[in-house]
Structure 1
């Protein structure tokens, strides 16, 4: 075949490949939800908050850093109130595209509104999954501890540890390359997480690997990483569900971007990019869910935009800079 003819054949093949790839990409984009909404669970006021806000009617809060974190990924946020009836939580689960159990200091048991709501929401997420509807769930610090507690059928999986105000690397476990969270992460993100003190830790309790297996948590979840506390105690720092988009972080990806109270919080460019990757990845998962509120009015009334954050560190010594109160 003459060179000119061969060039024409190759050009036609390349054009066809580009065309098909472009069409496939367009089809995939059309199948995504570009107006995703994430529900973040609130919790009871801390003792310091109650004292600082003693003349208010507020009973619950969400740290603004969580709201900002998921907004940077391209999602909107709905606050999920505690101490509501089951119908309220069912409606939330049917209306939003993803859920978050944030960190804090509430009880993870049914002795708190946070714990009671968490139980209902988690059960509903699993029920919806059985019906073929996946609702991504991210759990952070206290939320991760509650996730393990709920999956263990209300059996406490925690031991005391010392990991307050620490920045640490992640020690990846076998199989992390095939995980939802880390499998497609850019090399520089993995390098940052594995080799630098890039994850922010503020917790007094940990889940140990031996407890994880004793409680049968390995039947549903995979350990992706571990970390070490002040006394070199190795604990589980990241998990994900074996088939569903449910993730557990003992560390705080939101703090690298939005919290400045402690010098231990990593604010290097690499640490910030690794946290931003987590926000983007979760929102990408959330975009695959197409649920929505029954009406535009209901959606508008539910959004966090109806509330204003308060500069809480001006009122008392807080680890947060801003909080939403309800």
Structure 2
């Protein structure tokens, strides 16, 4: 594992003032186990949220209830990222806290990408049985097949609360720029049984099996994409022979898609106002990480000792 020199010396390369954090939304990203000693967050998720105007903090995969509560108290929302782990108790607790805030009138925002999308789907269903596996959807770029609800959604329709005039429905119907990297997902028939689960778009894998590509909660600020928009701008992939490992589309349409989705998500999170307290001890990712690993699947990965 290659760690940055600054991290090894115990020096932070970025020091954020309290004012810089309270002036913008602060979004938590749940880290995942990397090995027996470390947890990680790919830098692409941090950069993706920053592209939308947010700062980021880490929600540990192994956080206890008190730590989850402190992080929720000091953030505007949570993004659950892609990966492999099973749904952990801290994510369940964070979801319960978020929905309690929402019930109380605070629009605390939740988002999920790939595995995170699946976690949110299971949490909304209150069941792990809504998840199906066996999809042939690794390294697969697709154009979205929108539902009528998707065309009129908060996420994709600029006339329903977005901050852009970009026609996202046309852009994503006409261009195969959503990168899928999953073997599990949500069947549209099963999705119809989840209360308040609005299917925005679907796709089929290489074998013709349908899966949900995106959803939003009918009333709550909860959003998910089965595909990986954080990769279009920030991940190129590759191995020792410079062969692309992740065929994310980096053309104008792919970049625009990612920017519009994260801009919407961050603006939704901003509706909660200032929640971050510099005295809380919750540190931004740049200050709290204990090193950076460089690799292929993710060009840069922030690491934390467990």
Give the CA deviation at 1:308.
6.0
Report which of the two structures shows the higher radius of gyration computed on alpha carbons: 1
Q: Contact 2:118–2:131 at 8 Å: present in 1 too?
A: yes
Give the CA deviation at 1:43.
1.2
Matches within 5 A, 1:1-326: 34-45=23-34, 50=35, 58-108=37-87, 115-159=88-132, 160-184=134-158, 186-213=165-192, 216-217=193-194, 219-261=195-237, 262=245, 264-294=247-277, 296-298=278-280, 301-306=282-287, 307=289, 310-313=292-295, 318-326=296-304
Q: Please state whether the residue corresponding to 1:231 is helix, strand or coil.
A: coil
Distance in 1 between residues matched to 2:200 and 2:157, nearest whole Å: 10
Distance in 2 between residues matched to 1:87 and 1:249, nearest whole Å: 29
Q: Which has the larger helix fraction? A: 1
Give the CA deviation at 1:244.
1.1
Distance in 2 between residues matched to 1:156 and 1:100, nearest whole Å: 22
Q: Please state whether the residue corresponding to 1:205 is helix, strand or coil.
A: strand
Structure 1 segments unaligned to the other structure (5+ residues): 1-32, 109-114
Distance in 2 between residues matched to 1:41 and 1:249, nearest whole Å: 16
Q: Which has the bigger relative contact order, CA under 8 A and spacing at least 6?
A: 2
Q: Contact 1:309–1:322 at 8 Å: present in 2 too?
A: no
Q: Contact 1:200–1:265 at 8 Å: present in 2 too?
A: yes
Query: How has the CA–CA distance of structure 1 residues 162 and 150 changed in structure 2, closer, same or farther, with 3 Å as cutoff?
Result: same
Between 195-204 and 255-264, the greater mean CA deviation after superposition: 255-264
Distance in 2 between residues matched to 1:263 and 1:89, nearest whole Å: 32
Structure 2 segments unaligned to the other structure (5+ residues): 1-21, 159-163, 238-244
Distance in 1 between residues matched to 2:274 and 2:166, nearest whole Å: 33
Distance in 2 between residues matched to 1:168 and 1:309, nearest whole Å: 35
TM-score (norm 2): 0.83
Query: How has the CA–CA distance of structure 1 residues 291 and 151 changed in structure 2, closer, same or farther, with 3 Å as cutoff?
Result: same
**1:121-140 CA deviation, whole Å, 9 max, x = no partner?**
11111111111111111100
Distance in 2 between residues matched to 1:209 and 1:43, nearest whole Å: 28
Give the CA deviation at 1:188.
4.3
TM-score (norm 1): 0.78
Distance in 2 between residues matched to 1:204 and 1:89, nearest whole Å: 29
**1:245-290 CA deviation, whole Å, 9 max, x = no partner?**
1101100110101110135211111111111111111111111112
Give the CA deviation at 1:183.
1.3
